[in-house]
Amino acid sequence: MISRTWTRACCCVFLCITCLAFCGVEPAYASSSQAVKSIKSSKAARPKQPAKSTTPTKSAAPEKSVADQQGPGRISADAAVLMDVKTGDILFGKQENKRRPPASTTKIMTAILGFELGNSDEVVTVSQKAANVGEATLHLDPGEKINLYELITGALVKSGNDACVAIAEHIAGSEERFVQLMNMKALALGAQNTHFGNTNGLPLKDHYSTAYDLALMARHGLSIPQFASITRQKETEIHFLEPDVMMDLRNTNKLLWNYPYADGVKTGTTTAAGKCLVASATKDGRQLLVVVLHAPDRFGDAKKLLEWGFNNTEIVHLANAGQTITEFTKSKDPVRVFTEAPVDVSIPKTERLKLQTHIVWEKNGDLPLEAGERLGRWEIWLGKQKLGTVPLLSERDVAKNHSLLSFYSFGK
């Protein structure tokens, strides 16, 4: 079972990376002892209860964000990034590409692979190794049985380090193999400055990420309905199958209580990493994502950045899916070209007049052409900064002798 899962997992991530390379897609533009006793008593005493979207491709990690010169003012974080979830555009950055220890924000990737490579209702048996993991934990015991979904919930809401190891061993057979998958998935998502050494973010020398990379990973996580649903919960409970008990969980993300638009994602804290937070919020139908690393006032920083983003930036719609952009006129028989997906960009409201688009043809006039073939790209610029690149595709086939046949047909 584990062997088949491991092989399937490797193939899945490998194909993702291969597809990105083949298509020419550029990476997208991130307890006290009293508490222990309380949790253990809850876990042991409670009886069983009834069970209760494609965007323009971005240039790799921009050196400066769109709004570096118009940011929200001082924040306490050493590194930060603000991203629009729909478009993937970076609205603010501060040392967003600097490698730093990510602490428990690591669990974002662990949860992603848990959902993508496992089935939520699979039963996980806790190993001795998982039960021995320290720091923030669910206080798992060897031999306990619990569904994978409940275990992922424990990792995301309560930040259980032991839950992460149990997830990894169930999916890949060992934490070491699972970590390999984490690194492959990070690369596939465009997180080029990330390297994981474990599944939970406990201090390790060769374990690092960046604010930008964590935003990429969190954005992907939020596209998974179960992930998004779990991370927005203030409080919840998980059900153990053996022994048949419930455990109460309270989310470590205090932004869910003190900012009305907050709807995710994950905290992280270690001595080396400092206080970290990956947070999302939705206001008037628009969702933004913020990452702050080594931030003494992480919740204040996040709220400040999110409010600035909602108030000072906007999404500009440039094209619908399948919309014709122009004609490819390098051949004797002009062909209309289109964008396969909707094209939207997020920019500061004051910069809208600087928004420009340019067409760059990548193919000469040689025939034949195939329907859906990439003929060029549509570049989107804000002043001197390129925001993204959209493939321009041929609307129809054009045979090699098409123009000649048309001439003789017309002559008749």
Contact 380, 388 (CB under 8 A): yes
Q: Which residues contact 64 (CB under 8 A, 6 or more apart)?
A: 93, 385
Beta bridge partners of 268: 276
Nearest to 147 by CA among 224, 44, 240, 226: 240
Architecture of domain 2-52+98-280: 3-Layer(aba) Sandwich (3.40)
| Superfamily grouping for domain 320-411 | D-Ala-D-Ala carboxypeptidase, C-terminal domain (2.60.410.10)
Give pLDDT, residue 71: 77
Give tens-digit pLDDT for 103-136.
Answer: 999 999 999 999 999 999 999 999 999 999 988 8
Distance, in Å, from the CA atom of 116 to the CA atom of 109, rounded to the nearest integer, reads 10
Sole residue written with tokens 């990548």: 362
Average of per-residue pLDDT across 257-270: 97
Amino acid, res. 21: A
Q: Which two tokens stand for residue 89?
A: 């555009």
Asked if 2-52+98-280 and 320-411 have one fold, the answer is: no
Sole residue written with tokens 């490579």: 117
Give tens-digit pLDDT for 56-106.
Answer: 555 444 544 444 446 788 999 999 999 999 999 999 999 999 999 999 999
Residue spans per domain, the chain = 2-52+98-280, 320-411
More confident residue, 32 or 200: 200
Question: Active-site residue among 43, 65, 86, 104?
Answer: 104
Percent of the chain with pLDDT over 70: 80
Distance, in Å, from the CA atom of 179 to the CA atom of 159, rounded to the nearest integer, reads 18
Residue 25 has pLDDT above 80, yes or no: no
Q: In terms of C-beta density within 10 A (0-12 exposed, 13-18 middle, 19 or more buried), how is residue 155 classed?
A: buried
Q: List the Cα angle 267/303/201 in 5-degree steps.
A: 15
Give tens-digit pLDDT for 139-195.
Answer: 999 999 999 999 999 999 999 999 999 999 999 999 999 999 999 999 999 999 999
Q: Which two tokens stand for residue 412?
A: 């008749």
Which DSSP string do the residues of 121-144 spell out, in sequence order?
Answer: T-EEEPPHHHHT--SS-----TT-
Question: Active-site residue among 43, 58, 86, 159?
Answer: 159
The mean pLDDT of the chain is 85
Sole residue written with tokens 């994602």: 265
- Sign of torsion over alpha carbons 288, 289, 294, 299: positive
Give pLDDT, residue 53: 38
Catalytic residue list contains 104: yes
Distance, in Å, from the CA atom of 124 to the CA atom of 169, rounded to the nearest integer, reads 9
Distance, in Å, from the CA atom of 313 to the CA atom of 315, rounded to the nearest integer, reads 7
**How confident is residue 365, by pLDDT bands cut at 50, 70 and 90?**
confident
Catalytic residue list contains 346: no
